[in-house]
Structure 1
Amino acid sequence: MSVEQSVSPPRARGFVAAMIAMGAMAVTVFLGLPEIVGQMARQWGFSESVLGLIVFADIVGNTVGALIVAFYLGRVPVRWTLAGSVALAVLGNLLTPFAPDAAACMALRFLAGLGSGGMSGVATRYLSYTRHAERDLGLMMLGQNLWSSLLLALLLPATGQWKGATGSFQFTAAVLAVFLLLIVYFGRKEALVHQGAETRSASGLVSPAHALLALGAMLMLYLGAGMVWTFVERVGKDAGFEHGFISNSLGAANLLAMPACALAPQLMKWGGLRLWSLVLLAGCGACSVGLGWLQSPVAYAGLVAGFLVTWSAAAVLLLATIPRYDAVGRYATLGPGVLGLGFGLGALVAGVVAEHSSMPLALALAGGACGVAALLYAVLHHVPLPSVRPLNQDPRPEPVSGPHQATSP
């Protein structure tokens, strides 16, 4: 349900496209993790568990940034929120290569993540207000896949050859700095939360139970994704595949995921949101487990592509679920933080499990997380909807007129 006309002022042309671009590119480090993690390992010699902690710190920053935007900066002018978020993201990425040790690196990654999460929260919040929220959120996911393809196949390998992980973080800072220009789209005193949105929330147009179950399913999906995607490069390396083949496989997988994202909204017409979400979550889990039993380069390329296609399409459908139960966009704003938290926890768990046990076990756990996501999503559709009354309607029942008028006891 859209509340664009009620809660948002008219926007300049290109506003939605700008929000989609910011939502897609604010998470540049997140999208490029397979390459960036490898660059950090080669340049700074970090172990798997330390790399998992660094990724986790980055993702926790994303989560905290989105939470702050959703619950504490609603009355602050959006210009200040966006400018502060961009500044933190740029500063954190520029300073990361100069960290003297792993602890300082984690602190700086948290700072950068805080800014990226704030940027993502602003973008997702405004996209949830649009007339076609499901389509626009899907386009944001499509943009993330396109950007990830360019990062993994071309841009990050080039910056890695130039200056290693240092070049990749400096490149990220330059990209994110551009979004400071978007402050011109917002009024000087415009706040993120409008009175109309709060009125609709108070009128019962938000179902917290359904929105939270959808967010829980997304958390578990990205928990599994974090286990797989953070170390998917190492999986190929351990299997004996060349680095060029691995990079090309990741880039091709992202290219295949783009039409999957574009077609995801159509799947709701062909078989229903529930059916396809469950099918995609099951497929994501199966591909995760399959990566632990590689036998050939063809199997690796196919399973990576299958995993990314099902993961991306499932994420689009889960994101499209939230606006159905959240007319004001507050829970949608939490989306980037929840996704980041799940991914960060997955990276942390996978790093520890891979170092102290085995990578196939970590991949099997990822498959289990996808199964839990499917279970939560199935439960969501069996929870009864709350009663909803029109805006400004008196909640008291109308009196019965005529000779049969009810009398009070």
Structure 2
Amino acid sequence: MLAGMALVVIGMQVFIIQPGLVSVLIAGGAGESIVGYAASAEIFGIALSTIAAASIGTRLSWKWLAGQALALMAGANLASAVQTTGEAFLLLRLLAGLGAGIVISLGYAMVGMAPDPDRSFGHLIIAVLAYGALGIFGLPAAAALLGTGGVFVLLALMAAAGLGLLGLVAQPAPVERPTEPQAGSRASLNMLLAAIFLFFLGQGVVWAFLSLIGERMGIAPQAVANGLTIAQLAGIPGAFAASLGRRIGHRLLIAVGTIGCVAPLAVMTMRLDAVGYGVGISIFNAAANLMTPLLVAIVAGIDRGGRLVQRAAALQMLGLAVGPALSTPLMGHGFTPILGLSILLFLSCWLLSALNPSRTGGGKASNA
């Protein structure tokens, strides 16, 4: 399970620090549009490869897949160190995303096979957030010391380090038929998967631009980075709360998570100072990181063979990929439309979850 967590952290290496990286790239001379589309291209690459990984299942060696994907990530990041603008940069970020998606999918499936998925995914998100907090906090200093290219070299080294984990990659025994839900209707499962997609689409719409929103409010870049770092740390108790899903009940936690996502974004439509901005994004990140492991853990409780978890990971990354592409054309109208769209998507996720008769109930039954 620890190897699976490490693979997910490596695969998430850019997405989790994306707001800070967007700011660094723009400060380095890249245009806002090219940076927005680069963010979308990378996450879209992740989405494509997570979908492919879910389709492949266990037909190929997970060790081989992980090795190829990590090598692709390392190569694309190294090339990005010398090419940070133009269409070539978009292609390189797409390639990095293709590698990252396979790594994330395999890591998610390995964590999903743990005995207690609620707790395991909660711990996973805590590990991702710890990396994100350190990464976002250190990005301005790293960019100042090493340049934008140096940041991508560090990302390449991180991916290369993952090759040392290949001996720990665990693969489930092949099964004669695909794993299917043990209880409830296929329509109920589809509603759950649709809710997952809508949630991560809403997150993707706003996440990459949180740093720019703060800077447009007149907050200094380092203060924005500090706020995002605190927000990453605030996500840790949210992820921990997700591990209590069996005790508290999934439906209640999803309602709390939705409120925590929607309310701060609504407040951010107004001009805030550095403290207000930091508090708002901290509440948002705590709620988002409650929802992230909770939704995937519900799926893992249905399917212990990893196939449905890989589908959930694919939908997660597809939503995160499409989100920035939806936001970029809206940037010319200010950030209020972006915040409003994100709020609408979070509420739609909650509505599907609330209408779901069997997947998000309370207590242990919800993990049947």
User: Structure 2 length normalisation: TM-score?
Assistant: 0.91
Matches within 5 A, 1:366-381: 366-381=342-357
Distance 2:360 2:314 in 1: 27
Q: Which residue of 2 is the match for residue 95 of structure 1?
A: 79
Q: Which residue of 2 is the match for residue 184 of structure 1?
A: 167
SS at match of 2:314: helix
Instruction: Name the CA shift for 1:384/1:287 in 2 (closer, same or farther; >3 Å).
Output: closer
1:105 matches 2:89 = yes
1:35 matches 2:12 = no
Q: Which amino acid aligns with 1:310?
A: A
Q: Which residue of 2 is the match for residue 291 of structure 1?
A: 268
Give the fraction of aligned pairs with identical amino acids, expressed as a percent: 23
Matches within 5 A, 1:132-151: 132-151=116-135
Distance 1:19 1:209 in 2: 30
Instruction: Name the CA shift for 1:166/1:24 in 2 (closer, same or farther; >3 Å).
Output: same
**Candidates 222, 226, 251, aligned match of 1:274:** 251
1:334 matches 2:311 = yes
**Candidates 198, 201, 206, aligned match of 1:220:** 198
Distance 2:135 2:181 in 1: 44
Instruction: Name the CA shift for 1:235/1:118 in 2 (closer, same or farther; >3 Å).
Output: same
For residue 91 of structure 1, report the CA deviation from its aligned partner: 1.0
Distance 1:300 1:311 in 2: 16
Instruction: Name the CA shift for 1:150/1:352 in 2 (closer, same or farther; >3 Å).
Output: same
Instruction: Name the CA shift for 1:131/1:51 in 2 (closer, same or farther; >3 Å).
Output: same
Distance 1:51 1:351 in 2: 9
Distance 1:123 1:256 in 2: 24
For residue 257 of structure 1, report the CA deviation from its aligned partner: 1.1
Distance 2:163 2:311 in 1: 22
1:124 matches 2:108 = yes
SS at match of 1:131: coil
CA contact (8 A) 1:208 1:325 kept: no
Q: Which amino acid aligns with 1:370?
A: F
For residue 250 of structure 1, report the CA deviation from its aligned partner: 0.7
For residue 335 of structure 1, report the CA deviation from its aligned partner: 3.0
Q: Which residue of 2 is the match for residue 302 of structure 1?
A: 279
For residue 120 of structure 1, report the CA deviation from its aligned partner: 0.6
Matches within 5 A, 1:130-209: 130-154=114-138, 156-186=139-169, 192=171, 194-196=173-175, 198-199=176-177, 201=179, 204=182, 208-209=186-187
Q: Which residue of 2 is the match for residue 403 of structure 1?
A: none
Q: Which residue of 2 is the match for residue 263 of structure 1?
A: 241
SS at match of 1:228: helix
Q: Which amino acid aligns with 1:368?
A: L
For residue 383 of structure 1, report the CA deviation from its aligned partner: 7.8
Q: Which residue of 1 is the match for residue 321 of structure 2?
A: 344
Matches within 5 A, 1:10-89: 16-47=1-32, 49-72=33-56, 74-89=58-73
Instruction: Name the CA shift for 1:206/1:333 in 2 (closer, same or farther; >3 Å).
Output: farther
SS at match of 1:164: helix
Distance 2:40 2:215 in 1: 22
Instruction: Name the CA shift for 1:241/1:334 in 2 (closer, same or farther; >3 Å).
Output: same
- List runs of 5+ in structure 1 lacking aligned partners: 1-15, 386-409
SS at match of 1:308: helix
Q: Which amino acid aligns with 1:67?
A: I
SS at match of 1:195: coil
Distance 1:21 1:383 in 2: 28
Instruction: Name the CA shift for 1:144/1:209 in 2 (closer, same or farther; >3 Å).
Output: farther
Q: Which amino acid aligns with 2:68?
A: G
Moved more, 170-179 or 257-266: 257-266
Distance 2:250 2:359 in 1: 16
Q: Which amino acid aligns with 1:121?
A: S
1:238 matches 2:238 = no
Q: Which amino acid aligns with 2:200?
A: Y
- List runs of 5+ in structure 2 lacking aligned partners: 362-368
CA contact (8 A) 2:189 2:359 kept: no
Q: Which residue of 1 is the match for residue 340 of structure 2?
A: 364
Q: Kindly provide the CA deviation profile for residues 131-171 of structure 1, in whole angstroms up to 9, marking residues without a partner as x.
A: 222221221111111111011112x2232112332122111
SS at match of 1:115: helix
Q: Which residue of 2 is the match for residue 8 of structure 1?
A: none
CA contact (8 A) 1:292 1:361 kept: no
Moved more, 261-270 or 145-154: 261-270
For residue 205 of structure 1, report the CA deviation from its aligned partner: 6.6
Distance 1:171 1:383 in 2: 41
Instruction: Name the CA shift for 1:99/1:208 in 2 (closer, same or farther; >3 Å).
Output: farther
User: Structure 1 length normalisation: TM-score?
Assistant: 0.82
CA RMSD of superposed structures (Å): 2.3
Distance 1:321 1:311 in 2: 16
Distance 2:304 2:10 in 1: 25
CA contact (8 A) 1:94 1:173 kept: yes
Q: Kindly provide the CA deviation profile for residues 43-73 of structure 1, in whole angstroms up to 9, marking residues without a partner as x.
A: 23212x3222111110111011112222126
For residue 193 of structure 1, report the CA deviation from its aligned partner: 5.6
Q: How many residues align?
A: 361
User: Considering only CA atoms, is the larger Rg found in Structure 1 or Structure 2?
Assistant: 1
CA contact (8 A) 1:146 1:254 kept: yes
Q: Kindly provide the CA deviation profile for residues 75-110 of structure 1, in whole angstroms up to 9, marking residues without a partner as x.
A: 112221111111111111111233374211111111
Q: Which amino acid aligns with 2:132?
A: S
